[in-house]
Amino acid sequence: MIKTRSQPNSDWPQQTLIFPEATCTNGTALITFRGGPFSPGVAVQPVCVRFPHIHYDPCWVQGGPGMAMIFYRLCCQFHNFVEVDFLTPHVPNESEKNNSILYGNNVRQRMSQVMNVPCTWHGYDDVRLQMEAIKVGK
């Protein structure tokens, strides 16, 4: 579907917003990107979103407080900030066009430099596996 939507003659808007991590994280590292958003082999514009905070981290992660508690805590602060960096578009070279994982890793590396956070090879499935292991006490 992503390849179909990215074609120039598609009825879909030319810009599509995709979160390549496929989940929300706490912003301390960039987890592995999925290959789907990069499989069409067309240029992408990376966008880095950060929520700088002093008292309360607004990020929702697996095993953290529920959405109602997050909303309540955010409302108790006098102000909440968001920083958005629009990076220059990344035009894939031939090897990136042929390998969506390489393409995603190169975009992720650029984003990690701007955000000043490390990359990790862990992904969403690793977090789910960890949560299941905690449930069974392993």
116 lies in which domain range?
A: 24-49+83-136
Amino acid (1-letter code) at residue 5: R
Q: What is the arithmetic mean of pLDDT over 99-113? A: 94
Structural domain contains residue 5: no
Tokens standing for residue 115: 């955000």
Look at the chain and count its residues. 138
Q: Which residue bears the tokens 């968001």? A: 82
Look at residue 44 and tell me if it is in a domain: yes
Task: Determine the average pLDDT of the residues in 69-87.
Answer: 83
First CA to last CA across the chain, in angstroms? Answer: 39
Tokens of 66: 């529920």
pLDDT value of residue 61: 62
- Rounded distance between C-alpha atoms, residue 45 and residue 62, angstroms: 28
pLDDT tens digits along 17-72: 777 776 667 677 888 888 888 999 989 999 988 887 777 666 666 666 777 887 88
Quote the number of domains for the chain: 1
Within a domain: residue 118? yes
Domain-embedded: residue 101? yes
Q: Above 90 in pLDDT, residue 95? A: yes
